[in-house]
Structure 1
C-alpha cells in the first residue's frame, strides 16, 4: 500500500482558485504522507469553502 499522496493535481487546481487556499496548498511539499494529508485535508476544505463564499459576494 502506498503511504504517500501526490499533491501536484491539487496544487494545479488551487492555482486557479487563489486566496489563502492557494497559498496554503501550494506551500506544501509535492508528496506528503497519508497521515499528513488526512490531518490537513479538513483545514484545506474549510479554506476552500471560505474562498467560495467570498467569491459569491
Structure 2
C-alpha cells in the first residue's frame, strides 16, 4: 500500500483499501482517499509517486 503523509497522522491513499484504512484509523490517522483506478491500480504509481515535493506550512 502506497500512502502519502501530508502531516503527522494525516495521509492520502488509494480509495478501496478498506482493511488498511481501518487499521490506520484505529491508530488515529486522518485519511483522505482518491479514485485511482486508471493510474494507481494499473501500476503507474500511488500518491507518493504521483506527487511533487510538498512544502508544509505551519
What TM-score comes out, normalization by structure 2 length? Answer: 0.28
Query: TM-score with structure 1 length normalisation?
Result: 0.28
Name whichever structure is richer in strand by fraction. Answer: 2
